[in-house]
Amino acid sequence: MRVAVVGLGYWGPNLARNFAKIPGVAVAALCDRDKTKLNDIALGYPAAKKTASYTALLKDRSLDFIAIATPLSTHFSLAKQALAAGKHVLVEKPMTKTGAQARELIALAKKNRLLLAVGHTFVYTSAVRYIKHLLQKKALGRIFYYDSTRINLGILQPDTNVIWDLAVHDFSILNDIFPEKPLSLRAFASSHMRMTFEEMAHLILTYEHNVTAHIHVSWLSPVKIRRILIGGSKKMVVYDDIEPSEKIRIYDDSVPVHPTSVTPFAPAYRSGNVLIPHLDQTEALYRELSHFVTCIRKHTTPETDGAQGLKVVEMLEAADRALRTKSEVTLI
């Protein structure tokens, strides 16, 4: 199978590197308007055609699918042209700038019997898969909260705010591990370096059964933190994506409530052992791309298909509405 990678900035080279590892897949073309980037990356793929013309790429009938890793503002146009040209498409997150655009791409892919997938790479990490397994087994008990901190110094995106750049990861994770849809969303954000796009934000989502998800994202932190805490009535989980090997710790801690003679109910805090599970070390991006290739070969639906991409875009749009109206936005 022959793939073209479009956009060779930060993420595109990672796509090319992992596609090249998949048996039966060839990186057949590389495309970028920046000729310096194009020539530099192409050195590692001597058999790949290099071009600055996306139109020329679409006319190449030998290409089976196209991977798009360009700025958000270009996703819809490039993906639509590729689907119209009969190519399967993998587009990086977020899928599009609006839900209407996402729905149009989904309809076009269905009409042309093509696969459309979105690069929600965190869904394919061993850590998130393990956490999802714990939740499905109800190993943590009744879930209380999801608390995420995703902060670092930069990179300030030129065409979107920090929510669309970083919180998109948490939205995709939440949609994957929680079977319930969120009920409402509140957002608080601020801009300090520019007046166009917010660089710091806090988001609060509410779910059924009094479950709360809090997401803190920032481009203005002196340290890089990628940490998720999930608290349950039986156990609690810490997922630290910065950790090279011990990414997940499961704490046998809980806050049971016991009746007493003094008050109707009183919490009793219990601390237990800490479990550090062994996780598969397969790179998440390789797992994601391999899955997409398999779906093309077997004509099956990708885990992070256009429908999943649409759900995330709708949550991002809701965050924009919450910021604009300074109010809680209903999601259902």
In the chain, the percentage of residues whose pLDDT exceeds 70 is: 95
Please, are residues 302 and 292 in contact by the beta-carbon 8 Å criterion?
yes
Burial of 168 (C-beta count, 10 Å sphere; 0-12/13-18/19+)? buried
- 263 has a pLDDT exceeding 70: no
- 329 has a pLDDT exceeding 70: yes
**pLDDT confidence of residue 3:** 98
Helix 284-298 / helix 12-19 crossing angle, nearest 10 deg: 60
Nearest to 189 by CA among 219, 211, 224: 219
Phi, psi for 128 (deg, rounded to 5): -65, -40
DSSP assignment of 171-211: HHHHHHH-SSPP-EEEEEEE-SS-SSS-SEEEEEEE-GGG-
C-alpha 27/C-alpha 62 separation (Å) is 12
Residue 157: pLDDT band (50, 70, 90) is confident
**pLDDT confidence of residue 156:** 84
Could you tell me the two tokens for 35?
């000729």
State pLDDT tens for residues 82-141. Answer: 999 999 999 999 999 999 999 999 999 999 999 999 999 999 999 999 999 999 999 999
- Collapsed DSSP state (helix, strand, coil) of residue 254: strand
- The model carries a pTM of 0.93
Could you tell me the two tokens for 285?
């991006």
**pLDDT confidence of residue 253:** 72
State pLDDT tens for residues 176-214. Answer: 999 999 999 999 999 998 778 999 999 999 999 999 999
State pLDDT tens for residues 51-70. Answer: 999 999 999 999 999 999 99
Residue 100, C-beta contacts closer than 8 angstroms, at least 6 positions apart? none
- 225 has a pLDDT exceeding 60: yes
Please, are residues 88 and 65 in contact by the beta-carbon 8 Å criterion?
yes
Please, are residues 237 and 134 in contact by the beta-carbon 8 Å criterion?
yes
**pLDDT confidence of residue 203:** 98
Q: Which residues of 119-151 are buried (b: 16+ CB within 10 A; e: fewer)?
A: bbbbbbbbbbbbbbebbeeeebeebbebbbbbb
- 28 has a pLDDT exceeding 60: yes
Query: What mean pLDDT do residues 264-289 have?
Result: 84
Amino acid at 184: S
The strand pairing partners of 108, in sequence order, are none
**pLDDT confidence of residue 158:** 79
- DSSP code of residue 156: P
Query: What mean pLDDT do residues 286-304 have?
Result: 98
Average pLDDT value for the chain: 94
Residue 255: pLDDT band (50, 70, 90) is low
**pLDDT confidence of residue 194:** 77
Nearest to 166 by CA among 151, 182, 179: 151
Phi, psi for 90 (deg, rounded to 5): -115, 120
Structural domains in the chain plus CATH codes: 2-122+285-305 (3.40.50.720), 124-281+313-330 (3.30.360.10)
Residue 269: pLDDT band (50, 70, 90) is low
Query: What mean pLDDT do residues 32-50 have?
Result: 96
Residue 87, C-beta contacts closer than 8 angstroms, at least 6 positions apart? 58, 63, 64, 65, 66, 114
